[in-house]
Structure 1
Amino acid sequence: MKEILDSALVDKIKGLGEEMFDDMVAFAQKLVQTPSISGTEFDLSELAMLEMKKLGYDEVFRDDQGNIVGLVRGSEPGPTIMYNSHMDHVSPGDVSNWQGYDPYGGTLDICEADNQDKTLKEQTQCIHGRGASDVKCGEAVQIYAGGLIAGLRGQGVPVKGNFMFTGVVQEEPAEMVGMVHLVDKTLPARGLDYDAMVSSEATSLKLYCGHRGRVELLVTVYGRTSHGSAPWLGINAIYKAIPLIQKLKDELYPSLPKDEELGQASISLNIIECSPGALSIVPDRCMLSIDRRTIPGETAETAVRQIKDIIAGLAAADPEFRADVVVKSAVETSYTGMSYHVAKDMAPWKISTEHGFVQASQAALEALGQTVKYGYWDFGTDASKTCGIDRKPTIGYSPMQEQYAHTPYDKCRTDYMKTALEGNAAIFLSAAAQEKEAYQKVTW
């Protein structure tokens, strides 16, 4: 492991971080004040691109899907490390739940917030509003980390490799449509590639090293309609679904495997619908929407096959039982008008804490005096593409805290933002100086 963050360089990082802090916080407030629900990210993308140009990025562009890219090129050859954030956010929901905060206010105040391990409430300065913790404050930090690298280069500090910020569209629908287009089409068309990725998804300043996959399944149980006054003439699809639901809950879920780091695979029945859906008609279809979380070694095909086996067993015991199961899909259209028909399938992934890229990141944070802790996400991220599919080294590192995401308590600590600004810049400098073994494909 090459140690490149000596005390002089650490002082330069912290000095520039101090100088940039107020502007970074103000920029994060602007991001929160700019609504960008999935499919409406244009205004936010404009704001981010303008800020990158002000910070001295060498190249800033938007692709045909609406993703944005900013590059800070090093003074010496080396790897390209992608720093990634998504630009969209979920709905604020019922505004009355926000306890006096405007979801798009970007309010800066002193309030009570959890510490890193959620063991203590502390009075600290926070930015409030929808997306503050998912992921606009992390996005501001990453963009400013690129600006810090540009500043160091301007001071004559040797910088290896390239810092690449990417802001992608439509992450929240959970189909990776923005990230897939960026990685598979935009970067190759521009003659660009990346060697590793740092996600800005919430980690409470810990290094996150993986998460379970996610597959959305649709099970349809079939029956036969009749008049509601004569149910014996039909086959009620809801009643036929009951034994299937029972087996999912009592037999399949307890049998699912467990990963030592990521936890147990899971299955959750979250939506039940029926058709035709009229009070006087016995339903001939019952649709079950299922959230299946997978661990390494499992795939969408694995999840489908398990349910098909249950269906086959029920059909063998009941001649009137008919059902099928498919992976759900959706058509996602970006703000530029580009549409994709995509499966709702995200791969699981994890990276060893002994991997060279992770070790370089740990060394960087320790050089700054940060205590390094590791963790894993409960939810899914676009890292399912970079590491789950492409097997490129990937970590999460962010000031935001997972427990506030998608809630009316959405906020981010500004002291954590300052720490993460320094940390992201240090991770880049440390990782970019490592030899090629730090960028070996990830296996599990």
Structure 2
Amino acid sequence: MYDILNTMAHDVRDDVIRFAQQLVQTPSISGQEEALAQLTVKTMNELGYDEVFVDDMGNVVGIVKGEGSGPNVMYNSHMDHVSPGEESNWEYPPYGGVVDGGYIHGRAASDVKCGMASQIYAGHLIKKSGIKLQGDFIYTGVVQEEPAEMFGMRWLMDRTFKERGITFDVMISSEATSMDLYLGHRGRAELEVTTYGRTSHGSAPWLGVNAVYKMMPVIEAVQKIAETLPEDDFLGRATIALTIIGCSPGALSIIPDKCMVSLDRRLVRGEEREDFIGPIQEIIDDLAANDPDFKAEVALRTVEETSYRGVSDMCEKYMHAWAIEKDHPMVEKCVLALNAIGQKPGFGRWDFGTDASYVTGVLGIPSIGYSPMEEHYAHTPKDRCSIENIIKATAGNAAIAYAIAG
């Protein structure tokens, strides 16, 4: 059966590549994914999925139903992408979906539309081959992954799947892995630190309290914290980085009474809220104890997100670290399946974050990354994906489903 999947993937090669081009040619910046959702729904219906629907948030779900007696496997891609930026930096049009040199070129080709095409067509291979899975093959395309709050995924898990009684035993993420199996990544928290002062005329600074100057010792202390953060044997070192700084009123001839910085804190396994907020609060408390004019606060950043279907919610900028082991039964099944079709995947981890932070880091359901895309092209003007990898990943995703749910 594995050999048949390889052959079938090559038989639908032109269709898969054409679909991947269509995906790249369909802009879907975060919060504007409706056209892409409609394209994927239309395609899955044409490919014979047993059930296809869009939930209230705007997430897309397609199911090839099994017999109900085995594990269910969920394939996941996010539908949104980041801005192309300045088009003059691109060799190929960002929404052209141009095929050249063995690659599909364009924004989101590597994050994650070519992986999406390989997942959706893997369900088609299962259906067309006549394989009777014991469990379900579930494809999910979620909204607004890029803002890093897991907005679409949380809704899909906590509402849509619960209301419809949909469950799964493992998630296969299409985030870029260069055909290897990725088993985790660090978490992320975005902290906001604010120092407060008092305005005065710029010609008489002694009459005010400059909030920017009050931020300076905070920044120095944060740099020292960076040297003491823990390290994970697999995920690497926890980090902290200042990414944004601003002040208000932010006008000429007026001393600022507020200064704000954003701290990007990358987390390793075992770190909880107190581990990344507590040290910053200690810095604030120590400075306040020695300076009567020092006033500051730290908070986990919270933002309001609204989906293209009008659903809004307040979202914390907080993602859990997670990892699963190489000898996990689901990982071993993936390796056996890929070996059976001639692929020899290695193991790795992502530098960036994914929605698996919620699925695995919060819900405890194992996630495994498997994708034709390469991480170093993501978010760059060289965004692209190997055509050969897309076809191999189509067969690979179908083989994984057969090994786990078959």
TM-score by length of 1: 0.90
Q: How does 1:103-142 map to 2 (within 5 A)?
A: 103-110=94-101, 125-142=102-119
- Structure 1 stretch displaced more, 74-83 or 12-21: 74-83
Structure 2 partner of 1:72: 64
Partner amino acid for 1:38?
S
Contact 2:24 2:96 (C-alpha < 8 Å) held by counterparts: yes
Contact 2:137 2:405 (C-alpha < 8 Å) held by counterparts: no
Matched, 1:329 2:302: yes
1:2-42 alpha-carbon deviations (Å, 9 max, x no partner): xxxxxxx1221112111111100000000000000011111
1:302-327 alpha-carbon deviations (Å, 9 max, x no partner): 21111001111111222221111000
Matched, 1:147 2:124: yes
Structure 1 partner of 2:327: 354
Deviation at 1:300, TM superposition (A): 3.0
The change in CA–CA distance for 1:289 and 1:76 in structure 2 (over 3 A counts) is closer
Partner amino acid for 2:339?
E
Structure 2 partner of 1:266: 239
* Of 188, 194, 200, the match for 2:174: 200
Aligned residues between the structures? 406
Contact 1:269 1:290 (C-alpha < 8 Å) held by counterparts: yes
Counterparts of 1:312 and 1:414, CA distance in 2: 56
Counterparts of 1:45 and 1:71, CA distance in 2: 15
Q: How does 1:286-365 map to 2 (within 5 A)?
A: 286-365=259-338
Unpaired segments ≥5 residues, structure 1: 1-8, 111-124, 434-444
Secondary structure at the counterpart of residue 288 of structure 1 = strand
Matched, 1:177 2:151: yes
Counterparts of 1:339 and 1:136, CA distance in 2: 25
Partner amino acid for 2:42?
L
Partner amino acid for 1:136?
K
The change in CA–CA distance for 1:76 and 1:229 in structure 2 (over 3 A counts) is closer
Matched, 1:102 2:75: no
Deviation at 1:75, TM superposition (A): 4.1
* Of 337, 356, 372, the match for 1:383: 356
Partner amino acid for 1:204?
S
Deviation at 1:393, TM superposition (A): 1.1
Matched, 1:160 2:134: yes
Contact 1:76 1:158 (C-alpha < 8 Å) held by counterparts: no
Counterparts of 1:263 and 1:87, CA distance in 2: 28
Partner amino acid for 2:8?
L
1:182-235 alpha-carbon deviations (Å, 9 max, x no partner): 011001111211111000000000100000001111000111111100001111
Counterparts of 1:350 and 1:279, CA distance in 2: 49
Partner amino acid for 1:319?
P
1:417-438 alpha-carbon deviations (Å, 9 max, x no partner): 11111111111111224xxxxx
Q: How does 1:229-240 map to 2 (within 5 A)?
A: 229-240=203-214
Counterparts of 2:134 and 2:44, CA distance in 1: 20
Counterparts of 2:307 and 2:120, CA distance in 1: 22
Counterparts of 1:150 and 1:398, CA distance in 2: 21
Counterparts of 2:70 and 2:248, CA distance in 1: 58
Partner amino acid for 1:243?
P
Matched, 1:228 2:219: no
Structure 1 partner of 2:77: 85
Secondary structure at the counterpart of residue 161 of structure 2 = helix
Partner amino acid for 1:64?
D
Structure 2 partner of 1:40: 32
Structure 2 partner of 1:190: 164
Contact 1:160 1:429 (C-alpha < 8 Å) held by counterparts: no
Structure 2 partner of 1:437: none
Please identify runs of 4+ aligned residues in structure 1 that moved more than 4 A.
Answer: none
Partner amino acid for 1:37?
I
Partner amino acid for 1:57?
Y
1:149-190 alpha-carbon deviations (Å, 9 max, x no partner): 11122xxx3322100000000111110000000011001111
Secondary structure at the counterpart of residue 388 of structure 1 = coil
Contact 1:300 1:345 (C-alpha < 8 Å) held by counterparts: no
Counterparts of 1:143 and 1:300, CA distance in 2: 37
Counterparts of 1:181 and 1:302, CA distance in 2: 27
Structure 2 partner of 1:277: 250
Secondary structure at the counterpart of residue 12 of structure 2 = helix
Counterparts of 2:362 and 2:60, CA distance in 1: 22
What percent identity do the matched residue pairs reach?
A: 55
Partner amino acid for 1:192?
I
Partner amino acid for 2:113?
K
Structure 1 partner of 2:47: 55
* Structure 1 vs Structure 2 CA RMSD: 0.9
